[in-house]
Structure 1
Amino acid sequence: MTLTLVATITARSGQADIVEAGLRQLVSASRAEAGCLQYDLHRHQDDAHVFVMIEQWQDSAALAFHQNTDHYRHFKTTCGEALQDVALQPLNRIA
């Protein structure tokens, strides 16, 4: 079953540019993954510290694979201190 994930990523004050650069690198690498159907990065219109990633994966196994890739781990390592919060909303389309 296709899985949609909405990730809301909030950068610490003054760290938005670092987080954006890391997320941009993550986008290109993630889109190349076999199970990735969509991986789109957005920035909040009113708060430049808030990013929203809208992801769609072939299934939960593809998402689990993604979360264990070198590029995903690299983002967490290099940008982890710059993050204030990450909220994940896993969704299944029903209509």
Structure 2
Amino acid sequence: MPTPLTLIATITALPGQEAAVEAGLRLLVAPSQAEAGCLQYNLHRHQDNPARFSMIEQWQDAAALSAHQQTAHFLTFGKTCGALLAKVEQQPMQRIL
């Protein structure tokens, strides 16, 4: 059985776009959690910077993550909020303990 893949995606909104980006990210949570292969998908806001959000994700495997990135809700977020983002950082990880 493959080791689950954890992804920490840190999304930084442009100044003044924090509320719109948060609203768009919130729309991703429920449909992403319902996807086959999704083990965890939770949205967080950084305490020290309200423009920074982190999505803590865990997927059954890399194929499940790849499928997620092709879903309508994921692609819609990119179309509706992509121009509102200053930066997106992705840290893929595998749990070892």
Aligned identity (percent) is 61
Q: Deviations over 1:13-71 (max 9, x none)?
A: 00000000000000111001011000000001111100011000000000000000000
Matches within 5 A, 1:63-82: 63-82=65-84
What amino acid maps onto 1:17 in structure 2?
A: A
Residue 8 of structure 1: how far off its partner (Å):
0.5
Q: Does 1:52 align with 2:54?
A: yes
Equivalences, count: 95
CA distance in 1, matches of 2:37, 2:20: 27
Q: What TM-score, normalized by structure 2, do the two folds share?
A: 0.96
Unmatched 5+ stretches in structure 1: none
What amino acid maps onto 1:55 in structure 2?
A: E
What amino acid maps onto 1:21 in structure 2?
A: A
What SS does structure 1 have at the residue aligned with 2:56? Answer: strand
Residue 77 of structure 1: how far off its partner (Å):
0.3
CA distance in 1, matches of 2:20, 2:38: 24
Equivalence for 1:38: 40
What amino acid maps onto 2:17 in structure 1?
A: Q
Equivalence for 1:20: 22
- Runs of 4+ with deviation above 3 angstroms: none
Unmatched 5+ stretches in structure 2: none
Residue 94 of structure 1: how far off its partner (Å):
1.0
What amino acid maps onto 1:2 in structure 2?
A: P
What amino acid maps onto 1:66 in structure 2?
A: H
